[in-house]
Structure 1
Amino acid sequence: MLRVLRPQPPRHSPGRLLLHLALFLATLATTSTVGGLMFASSEVELRLASKGFSGFSLFWRLITDREVLTAGLAFSLPLMAILLAHEMGHYVACRRHYLDATLPFFIPVPFGIGTMGAFIRIRSPLMTKRELVDVGASGPIAGFVLTLPVLVWGILQSQVVHELPKGGYLVFGEPILFKLLSRMIYPELAQGADLLLHPTAYAAWIGLLVTALNLLPFGQLDGGHITYAALGRIHRLVAWPLLVVLVLLGFKWTGWWVWAMVALVMGVRHPWVPGEDDPFPEDRRWVVVASWVIFLLSFTPEPIKVVP
């Protein structure tokens, strides 16, 4: 069995720490702004416009309004916590194996949900199945564990409605976990009622989607690391058929075609590692099973549908 002796990873420089902090704060600002504008009532803008505000002054007053800030933070804080837990799970696993890894880089954007996610850069190559499983699974498991209480609280704050508002709106697909919890809390949902999501519930829903996407069994995604470690060279035989399944799901939700392209760009099959033929560590089997269960609980075939 391959064993790897590694030196202690280097410490992070003060300048790099400031960069990570700046990106985190910038992403907190963009997710708060986008979340606030998404969930605050439309009357806020009308009220400010009636007072004579327009252009940039209207936008500034809008994003600093108490209602917008409250709604934005109810969305951004749990979302950022889930993303941070996911990436720090990877980071801690890397440090435990003496792998050289960066702290999380957050990506702020002024549209969508206010971020394109976060990532860490692992400079050391993964050499063994134990490293693959520990590093690959630690992020999704950590993010999922934090998502659970956020999801429960967010559902409790959401509103049950028996008639949806007229006009265009988004319908979010329900992962198994979301469906189970929402119907346990609100039995009337099983009778045809709908749930208007609280900002925190939406953040938790995104957390489930991010977890499912990262656990797709391709290339160097988290799911690719885990599946390759568990199956070894058999992963090369099942990777392409699984990609065909993903492409077929694209007829349900076109976003899966984007992820199929991502898999093609990064490589559908996981790169070879020296410990490929080593026996799988028995004490890590539960980690693989837990990861696959988390994927099933977090996955939904049609995450988003636009109703005109």
Structure 2
Amino acid sequence: MAETNPLVHNVRIPITSCWREYGLPAVLLAVSVVTTTAIGARFMQNFLDGLPTVVNEGDLWPWPWLIEHPSRFLLGWPFSSALLAILLAHEFGHYFACRAHGIRATLPWVLPAPTLSGTAGAVIQIRSRIPNRRALMDVGVSGPLIGYCASLVVIAIGFLLSRTAPMPPSAQAAPIIGFGNSLTLNVVHSALARFYPATPSFELALRHPVLVAGWVGLFITSLNLIPGGQLDGGHILYAISPRLHRGLRFILPIALILAGIFFWIGWVLWGLLLFIPAMRHPRVPTDEPLDRKRILLSAAALCVLALTFSAAPFPGTSILHYIR
């Protein structure tokens, strides 16, 4: 039986810990930079050609095109930097709220994926118990509010970089993916149009990839604010009322599945996710009531949900649409 070298054994723990703390987040971020820049390059090429963001299925898998035109990879930097800024702002909001309350948490993990944005979003892993409702509220609300503010800046820049789409669009340029509107997009456009009357509306715009990145930021914010499970909205609702959170445990997933039938098929997936036992919210001590400041923060989160939510984020993608 071989002996274990105590010196080697003692070195393994800090190396493993260092990898989990810094190495894994750095690698995931680096890969996400590549995937988001790749999809952003295809979006930018379409924008420069006067085409909608996604014209055909090849736009969602740009790698063959990039192999043929590797110099165009750099076209994706505006989209990538804008989107990653929003994601990191959101997750660092959670991270620093955890630090403020002495809660152990990982650095943000940005998850690369073959999706419309090149990512599956970003997460942090909380590694210690949340001590009370006030800490839970701070952790839950900080990410969406900071991420929403970052999205507002990106959207404003995106509107200014966009231009009015040619009318009417040719049949060849008809997009295969549409982007639903939201109150935030209308408000930002109205504010900009006061100073820059030529600013095109979201529906009529030939959308710059930065505007698309801002749209993705709003979409992610609205998904996170769904008041169920361990989503940010679930944390906020649990901090307000654990009883109400438990009461929505089955009602909310069913409502989402119904929304998938009539509005967007993706709601079905989110409804099913909330049925998974791992999504149940862990117990948090509730003896300490929320103060006025945190009640106001929860109201702000509700307003953000209303301003970002779209029942049909991708128009024409309901279950009824596909079975007709």
Out of 30, 40, 59, the position equivalent to 1:25 is 30
The aligned residue for residue 219 of structure 1 is 229
Quote the Cα distance in structure 2 between the aligned partners of 1:210 and 1:200: 15
Are the structure 2 counterparts of residues 19 and 249 from structure 1 closer, same or farther at C-alpha, using a change threshold of 3 Å?
same
The letter for the 1-side match of 2:267 is W
Equivalences for residues 144-159 of structure 1 within 5 A: 144-159=148-163
Q: Secondary structure at the match of 2:69?
A: helix
Give the number of aligned pairs. Answer: 283
Q: CA deviation at 1:302?
A: 0.4
Specify whether residues 263 and 95 from structure 1 end up closer, same or farther in structure 2 by C-alpha distance, changes over 3 A only.
same
How many angstroms does 1:60 deviate by?
2.9
Q: Distance in 1 between matches of 2:41 and 2:88?
A: 20
Q: Tell me which amino acid in the other structure corresponds to 1:263.
A: L
| 8 A contact 2:158–2:211 mirrored in 1 | yes
Q: Which of residues 142, 145, 151 is equivalent to 2:146?
A: 142
Distance 1:263 1:203 in 2: 26
Partner of 1:40, secondary structure, is: helix
Which residues of 2 match residues 28-107 of structure 1 at below 5 A?
28-41=33-46, 59-65=66-72, 68-70=73-75, 72-107=76-111
How many Å apart are 1:249 and its aligned residue? 1.5
**Counterpart secondary structure, 1:100:** coil
Q: Deviations over 1:50-79 (max 9, x none)?
A: xxxxxx9974352322xx522x11110000
User: 173-182 or 105-114, which moves further after superposition?
Assistant: 105-114
Task: Write out per-residue CA displacement over residues 218-249 of structure 1, whole angstroms, 9 at most, x where no aligned residue.
Answer: 11110000011112312222343333332222
Matched, 1:283 2:290: no
How far 1:262 moved relative to its partner? 1.3
Contact 1:219 1:266 in 2 (8 A): no
Deviations 1:112-170 (A, max 9, x none): 32111111110112231111101111111111111111111101111223423324412
Q: Supply the distance in 2 between the matched residues of 1:295 and 1:192 (Cα, whole angstroms).
A: 19
Could you tell me whether the CA contact under 8 Å between 2:144 and 2:225 is conserved in 1? Answer: yes
Counterpart CA distance in 1 for 2:164 and 2:143 is 32
Partners of 1:279 and 1:42 in 2: CA distance: 51
Alignment correspondent of 2:270: 259
Three-state SS of the structure 2 residue aligned to 1:146 is: helix
Among 172, 177, 184, the alignment partner of 1:177 is 184
Does the aligned pair in 1 maintain the 2:109–2:123 contact within 8 Å?
yes
1:124 alignment counterpart: 128
Distance 1:63 1:179, change over 3 A: farther
When the two chains are superposed, the root-mean-square deviation of aligned CA atoms in Å is: 2.9
Confirm or deny that 1:112 pairs with 2:125: no
How many Å separate the matches in 2 of 1:81 and 1:265? Answer: 30
Identity across matched positions, percent: 37
Q: Secondary structure at the match of 2:111?
A: strand
Compared with structure 1, are the counterparts of its residues 224 and 246 closer, same or farther at alpha carbon in structure 2 (3 Å cutoff)? same
TM-score of the superposed pair, with normalisation by structure 1: 0.82
- Inter-CA distance 252–98: structure 2 relative to 1 (3 Å threshold): same
| Deviation digits for residues 25-62 of structure 1 (CA, Å, limit 9, x no counterpart) | 11011100111123314999xxxxxxxxxxx9974352
CA deviations 1:70-128 (Å, max 9, x no partner) are: 2x111100000000011111100011111110001121124532111111110112231
How far did residue 184 of structure 1 move? Answer: 4.3
Question: Separation in 2 of the partners of 1:262 and 1:285?
Answer: 28
Unaligned ranges ≥5, structure 1? 1-9, 45-55
Q: What 5-or-longer segments of structure 2 have no aligned partner?
A: 1-13, 50-62, 318-324
SS of 1:106's equivalent in the other structure is strand
- Aligned pair in 2 of structure 1 residues 182, 122: CA closer, same or farther (>3 Å)? same
